[in-house]
Amino acid sequence: MEDPVCPLDYRYGRDEMKMIFSERGRIRYQMKVEAVLAAAHASMGTISKKDAEEIARTASLDVVKLERIKEIEKETNHDLMALIKAMTEQCRGDAGKYVHLGATSNDIVDTAAALQIRDALDIIDDGVDELLYIFAKLAKREKCTLEIGRTHAQFAIPITFGFKIAGYIAEMLRHKERLLEISPRACAGKMAGAVGTGAALGKNFNTIQIMVMRDLCLTYEPAATQVVGRDRYTELICLLANIATSLERYCTEVRNLQRSEIGEVSEPFDIENQVGSTTLAQKRNPISSESVTGLARIVRGFVIPTFENQVLWHERDLSNSSAERFTIPHAFIILDEMLQRTGRIFSGLEIHTEKMQKNIESSRGLIMAEPVMMKLTEKGIGRQEAHEMVRVASMNAIERDIGLKEALLERNEIKKVMTEKELDSVMDPANYIGGAKEIVDKMVSAAEEVLGRKV
């Protein structure tokens, strides 16, 4: 056996997902479509029930050997024709005459792809559910854990770490909705012949198409060309890329918060055995989060060829086929890997609350400029005037390297309306997290409702 080249063969991806898009998996799905087509013909009286049952018997890699399919493909240079001939060879009696009756290649290929997509979407949906559970559990646990909110990579105002994760829950819930919505559009097959008119299937063409898709639990292309409309795949790959980008966002936050100068969280790390660097023995690099970041770039890279695959000449050409052999399987396998990795990162995430507190203290009160401004407006000072008073005090504090409270108390116009005790209360970070806790509770409850279980 030759050494594998693609990292999916030896480094990334789970067997459960790979099995769907493996060579054997693809052929099994195509065989299933051929068997269901034969059953539909039998229901319409086009062929006998006995012949349909015989075709169904041969729709198995235990009967039709993969090696034989490959032998025929070398002769025909057509992978589906090789499958059809191999099934025909194994049919007893006259049943072989009716394999693939009235169909064109993409009736089988696209319908089998719809089955693959449906099963793959189920795995992705399960992965999203598991990540939602992990996020909900983490958000609930860290609901009150104070942390500095940051905008433009600069200190802003206080939040809680649970509140940060609540935002991730909201985003993943939207992806859940998108997965539900896309299923009937992405999981569509066709049984309409060479240009979509169904001519070779005769007067019962539409009945046969509906029957086949009903038995396979798929929708169907109502006005096909030779292929299912590729706008369906464009929407699908864009959704997978969207989810991948969300995962990258979460893991990028881990990478940033694990920076030495921030140090508020850390990826799981096996202190006993794991090596961070071949030379820097002290290193604990966020390699899993970095891996998710890199994989997201690959998934997004499939978006452009998928859009290009949507434009085919006339009723169909073959320019999409080779590209789709890469884009669809790889996007699913990589996204599944990303979901698993992200789940492991956040389920074992180390939260350094003491460092979060130190970072809050390092701001020397500057992160509390906004609540001071809002308190001044309560005292009757105009909003713009209050903003300018606090801005001048803040710039003064930064320039002189003193705390904001000290700079504020030097200003008579502030001391006239606010006591030091009031200022201490206003500048307590714990008193200025708004509805953070309530938002966490709301998003955890929303996740629990969707998941059907408590965290």
Q: Answer yes or no: are the C-beta atoms of 443 and 139 closer than 8 Å.
A: yes
Would residue 347 show up in a list of annotated catalytic residues for this protein?
Answer: no
d(CA 244, CA 187): 20
d(CA 65, CA 53): 19
Scored b (16 or more CB within 10 A) or e, 222-243 reads: eebbbbbbbebbbbbbbbbbbb
d(CA 269, CA 43): 60
Q: How far is CA 193 from CA 110, 212, 304, in A?
A: 12, 13, 29
- What are the tokens at 237? 């790959």
Q: Answer yes or no: are the C-beta atoms of 56 and 39 closer than 8 Å.
A: yes
* Dihedral class, residue 419 (left if φ above 0, else alpha if ψ from -120 to 50, else beta): beta
* Residue 151 CB partners (closer than 8 Å, separation 6+): none
22, 277, 362, 425: the active-site residue? 277
d(CA 350, CA 268): 7
60, 100, 105, 152: the active-site residue? 152
Q: What angle do CA 237, 178, 298 make, to 5 degrees?
A: 30
Q: What number of helices (H) and strands (E) belong to the chain?
A: 20, 6
Would residue 288 show up in a list of annotated catalytic residues for this protein?
Answer: no
Could you list the active site residues? Answer: 152, 277
